[in-house]
C-alpha cells in the first residue's frame, strides 16, 4: 500500500471524481474524511470506504463558507488527530453564454471552485504546518483551465484560477515540505456526460458520441483514471513534484489550443 494509515480529506467526495479518489485512497491504506454538500452521497461513499476495511468520516460541507470548512477540519482532527492529505475535488458548472449569464451564476461557480479551494487549502495548510511533517494538497482543475471554452467562460475562469492558486501556494508551502499540485482532467465519463445530459436534456449517448470524436483513443476517461493520478500525487512517489498542473486526457484539443465543446452544450 502507498498510503498506510494516512489521513485524507476529500471534498466533492459524494460522486464523480471525488468519490473515485476517496475510494482509491482507501484502497491504498488511507483513512478518509468524505466531504460533500450532499449528505446522503457522502454517507454512501463513507460506507464503501468502511467496507474496504478503512475508517471514514462523512461530513456535509458547503465549501463556499469558511465556517463550514473550519468545522470540517475540526471534526477531522477530533476523529483522526491529524491531516496528511487534502484533495480539493468540490466543483460545479453550468453552461451559458456570457451575455446571458447572471451575476449569481458567476458567483456560484467562483464560490465553489475558487473560494472553496482557497478556504480548504488555507485551513488544512495551517494544520499541516503545525504538525511539522509536510503534507500533500491536490487541487482538481480542468483542461478548461488551460484555454477558453464556449459557454463555459465562468467555469474556464475558475479552473484557470485554481491553476494559478496551486502554483502560488506551492511556493509558499515549499519550506514546510508540503507539495501542492493540480490535476486537469479532460473528457471524463461521469462529469461530462451526466452534467451535459442534465443541463441540456440531450441523451448521454449522443453527448458521448460527440465527445469521442475529439479523442485520440476513441474513448473517454473514467473518474478512476483521475483517481490513479491523484494517488500518485499524494504518495511519496511524487515528493519531487510541486506547483504542477497535469493534464489527464487523450483529447486532441488540449494540445492544439483553446477548446471548444459540442454545439449541443
By annotation, the residues acting in catalysis are 155
Alpha-carbon distance of 34 to 19, in angstroms, equals: 8
Query: pLDDT for 93-133, tens place per residue?
Result: 988 999 999 999 999 999 999 999 999 999 999 999 999 99
Q: Find the farthest-apart pair of alpha carbons in the chain and give their distance in angstroms, rounded.
A: 51
Lowest pLDDT segment from 104-113, 150-159, 192-201, 203-212: 192-201
Binning pLDDT at 50, 70 and 90, where does residue 149 land? Answer: confident
| Residues in contact with 104: Cβ distance below 8 Å, sequence separation at least 6, in sequence order | none
Residue 199 · residue 242 · CB < 8 Å: no
Binning pLDDT at 50, 70 and 90, where does residue 250 land? Answer: low
Predicted confidence at residue 103, as pLDDT, reads 98
Predicted confidence at residue 256, as pLDDT, reads 45
pTM of the entire predicted model: 0.89
* Mean pLDDT to the nearest integer, 157-163: 98
Query: Considering only CA atoms, which of 20, 23, 25, 24 is closest in space to residue 8?
Result: 25
* Mean pLDDT to the nearest integer, 212-235: 80
Q: For the purposes of burial, counting CB atoms within 10 Å of the CB of 209, is it exposed (0-12), middle (13-18) or buried (19 or more)? A: exposed
Query: pLDDT for 58-99, tens place per residue?
Result: 999 999 999 999 999 999 999 999 999 999 999 999 889 999
Neighbours of 183 (CB within 10 A): 25
* Mean pLDDT to the nearest integer, 232-258: 80
Predicted confidence at residue 187, as pLDDT, reads 72
Pick one of 2.60.120.10, 3.40.50.720, 3.30.450.40, 3.30.1490.20 as the CATH number of 7-187+222-254. Answer: 3.40.50.720
Amino acid at each position: 500500500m502507498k498510503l498506510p494509515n494516512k489521513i485524507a480529506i476529500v471534498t466533492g467526495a459524494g460522486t464523480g471524481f471525488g468519490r473515485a479518489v476517496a475510494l482509491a485512497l482507501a484502497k491504498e491504506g488511507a483513512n478518509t474524511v468524505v466531504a460533500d454538500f450532499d449528505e446522503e452521497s457522502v454517507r454512501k461513499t463513507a460506507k464503501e470506504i468502511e467496507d474496504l476495511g478503512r475508517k471514514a468520516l462523512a461530513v456535509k460541507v458547503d465549501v463556499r463558507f469558511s465556517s463550514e470548512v473550519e468545522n470540517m477540519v475540526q471534526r477531522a482532527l477530533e476523529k483522526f488527530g491529524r491531516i496528511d492529505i487534502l484533495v480539493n475535488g468540490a466543483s460545479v458548472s453550468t453552461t451559458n453564454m456570457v451575455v446571458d449569464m447572471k451575476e449569481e451564476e458567476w458567483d456560484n461557480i467562483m464560490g465553489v471552485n475558487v473560494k472553496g479551494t482557497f478556504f480548504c487549502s488555507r485551513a488544512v495548510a495551517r494544520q499541516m504546518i503545525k504538525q511539522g511533517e509536510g503534507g500533500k494538497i491536490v487541487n482538481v482543475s480542468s483542461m478548461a483551465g488551460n484555454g477558453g471554452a464556449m459557454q463555459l467562460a465562468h467555469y474556464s475562469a475558475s479552473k484557470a484560477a485554481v491553476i494559478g492558486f496551486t502554483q502560488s501556494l506551492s511556493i509558499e508551502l515549499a519550506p514546510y515540505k508540503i507539495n501542492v499540485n493540480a490535476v486537469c482532467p479532460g473528457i471524463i465519463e461521469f462529469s461530462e456526460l451526466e452534467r451535459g445530459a442534465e443541463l441540456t436534456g440531450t441523451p448521454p449517448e449522443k453527448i458521448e458520441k460527440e465527445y469521442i470524436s475529439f479523442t485520440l483513443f476513441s474513448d473517454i476517461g473514467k473518474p478512476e483514471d483521475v483517481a490513479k493520478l491523484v494517488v500518485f500525487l499524494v504518495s511519496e512517489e511524487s515528493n519531487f513534484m510541486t506547483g504542477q498542473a497535469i493534464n489527464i486526457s487523450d483529447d486532441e484539443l488540449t494540445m492544439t489550443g483553446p477548446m471548444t465543446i459540442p454545439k449541443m452544450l
